[in-house]
Amino acid sequence: MDETRLRALTPTVIGVLGRRGADFAAAEDAVQEALVEAVRVWPDDPPQDPKGWLITVAWRKFLDAARADAARRRREERADAEPPPGPSDPADDTLQLYFLCAHPSLTPSSAVALTLRAVGGLTTRQIAQAYLVPEATMAQRISRAKRSISGVRLNRPGDIATVLRVLYLIFNEGYSGDVDLAAEAIRLTRRLATRIDHEEVAGLLALMLLHHARRAARTGPDGRLVPLAEQDRCRWDTRLIAEGVGILQAALARDRLGEFQAQAAVAALHADARTAEETDWVQIVEWYDELLRLTDNPVARLNRAVAVGEADGPRAGLAALAELDPALPRHTAASAYLHERDGDPATAARLYAEAARAAPNLPERDHLTRQAARLNARPRT
């Protein structure tokens, strides 16, 4: 049984049930039950029409639940009195699901969980394992999300920017458990790109591909974090880089720049450099300037300060960094790096150690601690 194919059918089947009168929560529950049935039945008796089979079984599951509930029974009777719905484009159904799962009434974590469940077709257990939380906790999160959007009807286009931010949140979770969330985010963004012609969807897909291309080089054999400048670029995935650059160039040619396109342009310049020394930092600073014209993002300002330090020297980078809030995540680590570049190892070592104590994860903390130890081990002059 092709699990990827099965998951890809999920949003289409939910959309069909929705057009037949099921609300989102009921449709999603029914489809999940049908998927469980498919896992049980298909290996021994695969259907000739997998989508039709899922629609039939899911609709039967929905009707079974509706008959057991008086309120649902009344809704079913009203639906039966109406003429059957006309044909609909499955792509439209799936696109509506993207918008619904990223509804503004949901918290980011709830939107992520609901997107992975309804659009991605993942089970609650898989999502819980990926986010390292108990399955019961994730089930409650998904249930609350479904209650929050109960009765919501999308009679006009949703906010594509919100959808893209949800997908980017999924991508940034990376990998944990038995679900590769980075790969899952790329899959969902690819699917979205086939359903909506939007330059920022293309920009996000390009950004994901360009970042994902460096994945194998980000850690050493011992699991240690490898900074971009020290990565073995022979381990970068040139196929993904070429695809990402091609998608980005087509998006930029439309001359409707957005923040994901600008971020992807920075990633493309890193990918284009054969060595760290050949990186075009001047252009990278220019792209950060474009990004900041689109969104006054503090993280982008921090990254720009580091890029200025590479393009114009560490003193210029430290001056740009001094204009930012020191409480900004990774501000101290950036300051340590620029002080080391400026020939002040004592200050850099102290700042690396301080940054390590505030690191958000163990690999980063280990890397910063080693940087401090390396500088402290140097003989003092």
- pLDDT of residue 131 exceeding 50, the answer is yes
154 and 57 together in one domain:
no
* pLDDT value, residue 72: 43
Q: What is the mean pLDDT of residues 57-72?
A: 75
181 and 102 together in one domain:
yes
Report residue 160 as tokens.
Answer: 């594509």
Left (φ > 0), alpha (ψ -120 to 50) or beta: where does 320 sit?
alpha
Domain-located, residue 321 = no
Range scoring the smallest mean pLDDT among 22-36, 280-294, 301-315: 22-36
Domain-located, residue 189 = yes
74 and 103 together in one domain:
no
Of the residues 52, 86, 120, the one at which a domain ends: 86
The percentage of residues in the chain with a pLDDT greater than 90, rounded to a whole number, is: 56
154 and 182 together in one domain:
yes
The most confident of 66-75, 162-171, 281-290, by mean pLDDT: 281-290
14 and 56 together in one domain:
yes
Q: What is the mean pLDDT of residues 74-83?
A: 48
53 and 38 together in one domain:
yes
| Helix H or strand E encompassing 179 | strand 179-180
95 and 175 together in one domain:
yes
Q: What is the pLDDT of residues 228-237, one digit of tens each?
A: 999 999 999 9
Domain-located, residue 243 = no
94 and 169 together in one domain:
yes
- Spell out a b/e string for 332-363, using b for 16 or more CB atoms within 10 Å of the CB, else e: bbbbbbbbbbbebbebbbbbbbebbeebeeee
* pLDDT value, residue 176: 55
Q: What is the pLDDT of residues 138-180, one digit of tens each?
A: 999 999 999 888 877 766 667 899 999 999 999 988 665 567 8
Domain-located, residue 75 = yes
The percentage of residues in the chain with a pLDDT greater than 70, rounded to a whole number, is: 90
- pLDDT of residue 93 exceeding 70, the answer is yes
* Backbone angles phi and psi of 256, in degrees to 5: -130, 75
* pLDDT value, residue 90: 56
Domain-located, residue 228 = no
Of the residues 195, 221, 254, the one at which a domain ends: 195
121 and 167 together in one domain:
yes
8 and 31 together in one domain:
yes
Q: What is the pLDDT of residues 316-352, one digit of tens each?
A: 999 999 999 999 989 999 999 999 999 999 999 999 9
* pLDDT value, residue 322: 96
Domain-located, residue 299 = no
Q: CB of 9 within 8 A of CB of 50?
A: yes
* pLDDT value, residue 141: 92
Q: What is the pLDDT of residues 18-63, one digit of tens each?
A: 888 788 888 888 898 888 888 888 888 888 898 999 999 998 888 8
Range scoring the smallest mean pLDDT among 8-17, 188-197, 269-278: 8-17
Angle between helices 90-101 and 160-173 (to 10 degrees): 70
**Number of domains present in the structure of the chain:** 2
Domain-located, residue 381 = no
35 and 132 together in one domain:
no
Q: CB of 331 within 8 A of CB of 324?
A: yes
- pLDDT of residue 280 exceeding 90, the answer is yes
69 and 93 together in one domain:
no
What integer best gives the mean pLDDT of the chain?
88
- 3-state secondary structure at position 87: coil
Distance of CA 171 to the CA centre of its chain: 3
Domain range for 103 is: 89-195
Domain-located, residue 170 = yes
> How many whole angstroms separate alpha carbon 67 and alpha carbon 122?
27
Q: What is the mean pLDDT of residues 197-221?
A: 95
Of the residues 26, 61, 86, the one at which a domain ends: 86
